[in-house]
């Protein structure tokens, strides 16, 4: 059977490794981290997102069509957003400020109540008078002087680190008390420090910015937005009086890379380069991830078998919901070629070769088949049935199984093509001539 050559795209991208692992350096095997979600998993680290998607085209950006590129500069121009998006982000920023200020006030009130309890306990203990001999006082003064000379050496400690330049200052309490006694009022200095600290903290809350969460190399080039008016305006002179403006990005939106259950388990089980974090913060091993995916997605087993089968053949697999199928097969990746096949997954009994409609996600009729064929033909794709042969040794209920049963399944391919008499008339004539000669 002659297979059609896929249509190539015009792109300047270079083809990278087929998988996000170093094939020639097994000692430097990377481990990526994905967090569990309701529909799959997500990777939030920018470096890991770029590696997983560029090498193998795994996943999809949460706010983009393919590669996570939302909010990034293009052609040295800042990201473009609409005015309604800008207003929404400013509202979120105000809500975060209010939330942080309320939390700060609650913490401060708790600290003040604890300080009041400590002062009350000290006042109660002042009434007790204890006589101390003079010899013990002299010995105590000597010990105090010795401890003072020891503490002078660690009054200030500077921690120099390459990542964080933090300064830790340790102040001797006795010297601080002596300085306080020289002032006219003992509580004036403390009150002034408290007021300054409150002003600084409130100033930080008012100027709250999420730029520390984003890894920006240059503040002059990053953190800017190009705000345009709303495009759904009723005015006819929208393009004439568009009036764009540049604003500082006070509430940046971070994008994540979403992975399906099949992609997650292939990276976890097939390649061993992924670790999955559960909702409670624990790590899922292969067996626990298998049971969870089978529970959350009833057709996970047959779809993962097909996914693993075509990934092992070098195809790039993407969801096929757009064309009514289960998967789309790409040669080298979506940036280089258009999709070649629209894959439909079916479950077939291995002994009788009868389709099990209870295990399939759709009921295939002639009417539905004509619709799939017309849609795929208009998009220059072919329908490929991937039939999973279910052995009799594997029960239909896989809730108590393990990934070891995957080796017992096989996949049979069935390519669907519509026969046109005008296009295939030569084939019919050749077959008739062969029958006459025999």
Each domain of the chain, given as residue ranges in start order, spans 28-69+255-297, 71-105+223-231+240-253, 300-425
Question: Which residue has better confidence, 433 or 292?
Answer: 292
Least confident of 8-22, 41-55, 146-160: 146-160
Residue 53 pLDDT level (bands cut at 50, 70, 90): very high
Question: Which residue has better confidence, 23 or 305?
Answer: 305
Residue 123 pLDDT level (bands cut at 50, 70, 90): low
E strands, 99-244, where?
A: 156-158, 167-169, 224-228
Give the Cα separation of 24 and 6 in Å (integer): 30
- Please report how many Cα atoms fall inside a 13 Å half-sphere around the Cα of residue 304, on the Cβ side: 23
Burial 120-136 (b: 16+ CB within 10 A, else e): eeeeeeeeeeeeeeeee
Q: Is the pLDDT of residue 277 over 90?
A: yes
Per-residue confidence (pLDDT) for residue 106, from 0 to 100: 73
- Please report how many Cα atoms fall inside a 13 Å half-sphere around the Cα of residue 286, on the Cβ side: 12
379-to-7, 210, 382 alpha-carbon distances in Å: 11, 44, 9
* Residues with a known catalytic role: 330, 338, 381
E strands, 37-82, where?
A: 41-43, 60-61, 80-82
Across the range 182-201, mean pLDDT stands at 44
Sheet of strand 410-416, all strands in order from the earlier edge strand to the far edge: 316-319, 327-330, 341-349, 382-390, 410-416
Tokens of 10: 């015009």
pTM of the model: 0.68
Per-residue confidence (pLDDT) for residue 278, from 0 to 100: 95
Q: What is the DSSP letter of 27?
A: G
Count of other CB atoms within 10 angstroms of residue 227: 19
Report whether CATH 3.40.1350.10 matches the domain 300-425. Answer: yes
Residue 430 pLDDT level (bands cut at 50, 70, 90): low
Residue-averaged pLDDT of the chain: 75
Give me the helices (H) in 153-270, please. 173-182, 188-206, 261-265
**Radius of gyration of the CA atoms of the chain, in A:** 34
Are 312 and 328 spatial neighbours (Cβ–Cβ below 8 Å)? no
Count of other CB atoms within 10 angstroms of residue 258: 19
Question: Which residue has better confidence, 435 or 79?
Answer: 79
Q: Is the pLDDT of residue 12 over 50?
A: yes
Count of other CB atoms within 10 angstroms of residue 311: 20
Tokens of 170: 């340790």
| H/E segment holding residue 157 | strand 156-158
Residue 40 pLDDT level (bands cut at 50, 70, 90): very high
Residue 307 pLDDT level (bands cut at 50, 70, 90): very high
Across the range 254-279, mean pLDDT stands at 94
Residues in the chain: 438
- 417-427 pLDDT, tens per residue? 877 766 665 55
Across the range 109-127, mean pLDDT stands at 64
Q: Is the pLDDT of residue 407 over 50?
A: yes
Q: Is the pLDDT of residue 71 over 80?
A: no
Are 347 and 302 spatial neighbours (Cβ–Cβ below 8 Å)? yes
Q: Is the pLDDT of residue 83 over 50?
A: yes
Per-residue confidence (pLDDT) for residue 2, from 0 to 100: 61
Q: Is the pLDDT of residue 132 over 70?
A: no
Give the long-range contacts of residues 193-200, CB within 8 A, separation 24 or more. none
Instruction: Give every CB contact of residue 397 below 8 A, 6+ residues apart in sequence.
Output: none
28-69+255-297 CATH fold = MutS, DNA mismatch repair protein, domain I (3.40.1170)
How close are the terminal C-alpha atoms of the chain, in Å?
24
Are 206 and 200 spatial neighbours (Cβ–Cβ below 8 Å)? no
Q: What is the DSSP letter of 242?
A: -
**Tokens 């292939």 sit at which residue?**
266
Instruction: Give every CB contact of residue 355 below 8 A, 6+ residues apart in sequence.
Output: 346, 347, 348, 349, 364, 387
Q: Is the pLDDT of residue 168 over 50?
A: no
């Amino acid at each position: 059977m002659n297979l059609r050559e896929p249509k190539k795209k015009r792109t300047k991208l270079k083809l990278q490794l087929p998988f996000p692992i170093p094939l020639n350096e097994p000692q430097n095997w990377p481990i990526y981290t994905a967090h569990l979600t309701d529909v799959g998993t997500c990777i939030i680290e920018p470096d890991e997102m770029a590696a997983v998607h560029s090498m193998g085209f795994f996943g999809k950006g949460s706010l983009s069509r393919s590669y996570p590129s939302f909010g990034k500069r293009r052609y040295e121009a800042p990201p473009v957003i609409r005015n309604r998006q800008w207003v929404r982000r400013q509202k979120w920023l105000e809500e975060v400020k209010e939330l942080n200020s309320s939390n700060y006030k609650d913490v401060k009130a708790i600290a003040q109540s604890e300080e009041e309890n400590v002062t009350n306990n000290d006042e109660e203990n002042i009434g007790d008078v204890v006589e101390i001999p003079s010899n013990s006082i002299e010995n105590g003064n000597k010990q105090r002087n010795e401890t003072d000379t020891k503490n002078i050496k660690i009054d200030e400690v500077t921690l120099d680190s390459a990542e964080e330049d933090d300064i830790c200052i340790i102040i001797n309490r006795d010297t601080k008390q002596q300085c306080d006694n020289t002032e006219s009022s003992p509580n004036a200095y403390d009150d002034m420090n408290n007021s300054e600290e409150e002003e600084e903290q409130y100033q930080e809350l008012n100027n709250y910015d999420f730029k520390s969460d984003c890894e920006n190399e240059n503040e002059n080039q990053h953190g800017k937005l190009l705000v345009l008016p709303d495009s759904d305006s009723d005015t006819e002179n929208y393009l004439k009086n568009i009036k764009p403006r540049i604003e500082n990005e006070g509430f940046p939106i971070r994008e994540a890379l979403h992975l399906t259950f099949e992609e997650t388990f292939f990276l976890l089980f097939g390649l061993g380069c992924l670790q999955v974090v559960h909702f409670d913060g624990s790590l899922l091993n292969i067996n626990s991830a298998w049971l969870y995916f089978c529970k959350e997605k009833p057709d996970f087993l047959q779809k993962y078998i097909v996914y693993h089968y075509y990934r092992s053949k070098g195809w790039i697999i993407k969801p096929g919901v757009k064309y009514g199928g289960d998967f789309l097969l790409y040669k080298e990746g979506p940036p280089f070629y258009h999709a070649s096949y629209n894959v439909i997954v079916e479950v077939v009994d291995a002994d009788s070769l009868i389709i099990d409609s209870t295990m399939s996600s759709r009921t295939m009729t002639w009417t539905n088949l004509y619709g799939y064929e017309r849609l795929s033909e208009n998009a220059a794709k072919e329908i490929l049935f991937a039939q999973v042969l279910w052995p009799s040794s594997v029960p239909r209920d896989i809730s108590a199984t393990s990934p070891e049963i995957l080796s017992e399944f096989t996949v049979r391919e069935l390519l669907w093509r519509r026969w046109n008499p005008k296009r295939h008339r030569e084939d019919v004539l050749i077959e008739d001539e062969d029958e006459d000669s025999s």
